[in-house]
């Protein structure tokens, strides 16, 4: 079971919806219930620093999804832009208009609609 609504580095769901649980608490609570059912937990989002991986595992996650930590590396795919002399990778959330146009609309139950609504709006 993937755990995490809104903890991603560029996700605005928690702020816009006005609801949410900090990722460590969400993983901790879900892991307790999952243990009883024999289900594995994947912490999805909220990994800002490498130490956050250890915290998610300590809270009970069996695996951790990492976006931001890897997205900006030289080895990751994607366009690089120069801004004020510094190099940046283009990074977007799966609920963004660009990502939904490129195929993630099914994750947000917007398949077959003529107008996409980006996450958080």
Active centre residues (catalytic): 11, 107
Q: Give the β-pairing of 86-89 and 80-83.
A: antiparallel
- Give the pLDDT confidence score for residue 60 in this predicted structure: 97
pTM recorded for the entire structure? 0.67
- Give the pLDDT confidence score for residue 97 in this predicted structure: 63
Percent of the chain with pLDDT over 90: 34
Question: Does the pLDDT value for residue 107 go beyond 70?
Answer: no
Going by pLDDT thresholds of 50, 70 and 90, the confidence category of residue 37 is very high
Helix axes 50-59, 23-37, angle to 10 degrees: 40
CA atoms within 13 A on the CB side of 83: 6
- Using an 8 Å Cβ cutoff, are 30 and 60 in contact? yes
Helix (H) or strand (E) holding 55: helix 50-59
How far is the C-alpha of 29 from the C-alpha of 23, rounded, in Å? Answer: 10
- Using an 8 Å Cβ cutoff, are 26 and 60 in contact? no
**Top-confidence residue, 59 or 12:** 59
């Amino acid at each position: 079971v993937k755990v995490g609504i809104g903890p991603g580095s560029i996700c605005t769901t928690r702020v816009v919806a006005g609801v949410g649980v900090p990722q460590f608490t969400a993983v901790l609570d879900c892991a307790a219930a999952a243990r009883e059912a024999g289900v594995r937990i994947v912490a999805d989002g909220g990994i800002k620093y490498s130490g956050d991986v250890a915290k998610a595992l300590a809270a009970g996650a069996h695996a951790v999804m990492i976006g931001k930590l890897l997205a900006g590396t030289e080895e990751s795919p994607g366009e690089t832009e120069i801004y004020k002399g510094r190099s940046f990778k283009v990074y977007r959330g799966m609920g963004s208009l660009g990502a939904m146009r490129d195929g993630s609309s099914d994750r947000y139950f917007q398949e077959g609609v003529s107008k996409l609504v980006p996450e958080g709006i």
